[in-house]
Amino acid sequence: MADFKVPSLEERLAYVLSRRGIQKFDKFTMAKGLPRGSIVYTDLASADNIRRYSNGIGDFNPRYRDAEYAKNTKYGRLIAQPTFLSSSAHHLDPLAHEEVSDEHMGGYHTAGARAFNSGNEWEYLLPVYEDDRLDFNGVGLIDAKIVKSRFAGQMMVTTSICQYRNHKGQVLALAKGFVHHSPSDEESKSKGKYEEFAKPYRYTDEEIAKIEADKLKEEMRGNKPRYWEDVSEGDSLGYIVVGPWNINSFFAWVSAAGVKGIRFPLGGDGGIYDPRINARTTLGPHADYELGRAVGVQGNYDLGVERECLVSILFTNWMGDDGFLWKYSIQFRGFVVHGDTCYYRGKITKKYIDDGKYCVDIDHWGDNQRGDRVTQGKATIILPSKVAGEVKYPAQKSIEDVFPGK
């Protein structure tokens, strides 16, 4: 691998900000191979695709999986799990994981420096119905800044935005993606934050038994409406249990959302360099323990968007068939690595009416078996009302409203 001087974070920030609002992406630019490595997968919300996605992320709610059950819901057919849109196109800036090199200056990080999806914000406006055709467009970069970091001392954070539409031209959702960029792998590893967890966690038989028992206690509201009048501030949403995480968990999500595989272009700046074979691999640190260690993590680790999809099950289980997930933000506070088990929980912090929408705001968080916080965020769910009836969907808005002129 050719030597390349890693620019400072300040140099990279100046370059990135010079491209604010320039890089736009849609199906056409991705089909042309620009930018490289972008994920474009599901065009049609067919019954098979909706079911495949739900199975892949482990959401067993029948309104996403059982056509006969779905006929008896208010939708009259299958709808997609909210995060299904992730399988249409990755909502992150397509250049966020591209490397800067002597030949290619389009990306935001460099050889020897890593990019990690650190959080996302969604605003859902309508459900995705069976047989909807999906489209998207976005702006590659709308903001960037340098922040302090326990992982690497300081990191650069880039923000991008993506819009999803159906075949009727209706906006289904808007999504912001946040990516943390490390100064260098060496800087990350020198902090030693994860050194004590170099070996996978080993459970006792009693711990495994409790995890399995807790999974059986998860509650799914289903076809019993959860009315706004019946909930209170401070109420718990219960929990979901995910784990122990392993490489099969990672590939289950990959099969659900669609990631380019073995034919991924590995020359030039594609993929991630593996010095053991003097070649690049795709998604290496997520599937390979040693490559995970090489970028400063305690082993191979999950994708942020994978965890985002899993946490959303907490909301869809709780709200029932008639509820609607309106807003959903999540921060990835730590890595989920081989062997980790996470409990995701939430509680109602506010109950109110917004222009005819009967809403509850929620704080949610996730902790692993060591007690480490791995996710944190907020959500807003619209519930049916005994007085007002069915859920009122949010007003339409577009990417122009969030980032005018782009």
Write the single-letter amino acid at 288: D
pLDDT of residue 322: 96
Residue with the bigger pLDDT between 390 and 146: it is 390
Half-sphere exposure of 4 (CA within 13 A, CB side): 19
Q: For 354-385, b where at least 16 C-beta lie within 10 A, e where not — what string?
A: eeebbbbbbebbbbbbeeeebbbbbbbbbbbb
Domain that holds residue 201: 9-396
Tell me whether residue 361 is in a domain: yes
Q: What is the mean pLDDT of the segment spanning 236-259?
A: 84
> Which tokens is 75 given?
């939708």
Total Cβ atoms within 10 A of residue 135: 17
Tell me whether residue 321 is in a domain: yes
pLDDT of residue 187: 53
Least confident among 17-21, 356-360, 369-373:
17-21
Q: What is the mean pLDDT of the segment spanning 14-24?
A: 81
pLDDT band at 275 (very low <50, low <70, confident <90, very high): confident
pLDDT of residue 3: 56
Express each pLDDT in 190-201 by its tens digit.
Answer: 554 555 556 788
pLDDT of residue 125: 98
Residue with the bigger pLDDT between 141 and 74: it is 74
CA distance 117 to 268: 23
Contact status, residue 320 vs residue 72, Cβ threshold 8 Å: no
Tell me whether residue 166 is in a domain: yes
DSSP assignment of 167-207 equals TTS-EEEEEEEEEEE-S-HHHHHHH-TTGGG-SPP---HHH
Tell me whether residue 2 is in a domain: no
Tell me whether residue 403 is in a domain: no
Q: Which of 164, 117, 160, 115 is nearest to 140 (CA)?
A: 160
Q: How many residues does the chain have?
A: 406
Q: Count how many domains the chain has.
A: 1
Cβ partners under 8 Å of residue 111, min gap 6: 1, 4, 6, 99, 100, 101, 269, 273
Express each pLDDT in 156-192 by its tens digit.
Answer: 888 989 999 999 999 999 999 998 887 765 554 555 4
Least confident among 95-99, 217-221, 329-333, 356-360:
95-99
Tell me whether residue 212 is in a domain: yes
Neighbouring-strand partners of residue 378: 329, 363
Residue with the bigger pLDDT between 217 and 304: it is 217
CA distance 365 to 150: 19
Tell me whether residue 402 is in a domain: no
Are β-strands 109-110 and 99-100 bridged in parallel, bridged antiparallel, or unpaired?
Answer: parallel
Q: Using the 8-state DSSP alphabet, how is residue 244 labeled?
A: S
CA distance 298 to 197: 6
CATH of the domain at 338: 3.10.129.10
Write the single-letter amino acid at 287: A
Tell me whether residue 264 is in a domain: yes
pLDDT band at 252 (very low <50, low <70, confident <90, very high): confident
Residue labelled with tokens 């289980």: 317
pLDDT of residue 103: 45
Express each pLDDT in 99-158 by its tens digit.
Answer: 544 444 445 544 556 677 889 999 999 999 999 999 999 888 888 888 877 666 788 888
